[in-house]
């Protein structure tokens, strides 16, 4: 007879027999209370602080010095008829180009100073975030001072072009 029954029918018969022979009743287990998942310990790092603002302001000032002096040199050379200056670029174009470069430098410095959990050696990199802006400050000041020290040629345009 057991061979003619389906497995789920056999299982229900066995369950009924067990229930009939036992003196206890089935109860649901009480819910298990699990502790809260651990909260990751993240250190909040303030990226834009006084040092960051000071370094980036100095970089902006150095870039302004370079931009302004270079533009003045081009204006004066064009007005004097220098053959190597065929036209002076428009101010809005130069300002937009300079602003884009400064924005990229600002973003690089911000990303270098910001913590990254995936980056090996992140603590060392974060401590050296100021190296790039400091280098660029020196380069822009050197270029600006070089433009300030630009002198008129020793010969006039006509004398310089003569063979």
For the chain, domain boundaries: 50-150
pLDDT band at residue 42 under the 50/70/90 scheme: low
Say if pTM beats, i.e. exceeds, 0.85: no
Residue linked to tokens 């109860």: 27
Nearest residue to 162 via CA among 83, 86, 79, 87: 83
Instruction: Measure Cα distances from 142 to 53, 70, 94, 104 in Å.
Output: 22, 12, 20, 21
- Within 10 A of 56 (CB to CB), how many other CB atoms are there? 19
Q: What is the pLDDT of residue 131?
A: 93
Alpha-carbon separation of residue 121 from 115, 126, 128 (angstroms): 10, 9, 11
Q: What is the pLDDT of residues 60-95, one digit of tens each?
A: 999 999 999 999 998 888 888 777 888 888 888 888
CA distance 78 to 146: 18
């Amino acid at each position: 007879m057991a061979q003619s029954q389906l497995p789920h029918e056999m299982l229900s018969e066995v369950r009924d027999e067990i229930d009939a022979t036992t003196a206890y009743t089935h109860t649901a287990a009480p819910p298990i209370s699990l502790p809260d998942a651990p909260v990751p310990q993240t250190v909040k790092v303030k990226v834009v602080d006084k040092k960051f603002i000071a370094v980036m302001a100095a970089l902006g000032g150095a870039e302004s010095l370079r931009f302004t002096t270079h533009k003045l040199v081009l204006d004066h050379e064009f007005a004097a008829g220098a053959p190597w200056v065929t036209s002076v670029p428009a101010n809005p174009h130069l300002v937009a180009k300079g602003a884009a470069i400064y924005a990229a430098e600002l973003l690089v410095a911000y990303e270098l100073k910001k913590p990254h959990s995936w980056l090996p050696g992140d603590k060392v990199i974060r401590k050296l975030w100021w190296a790039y802006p400091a280098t660029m400050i020196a380069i822009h000041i050197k270029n600006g001072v070089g433009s300030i020290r630009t002198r008129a040629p020793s010969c006039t345009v006509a004398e310089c072009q003569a063979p």
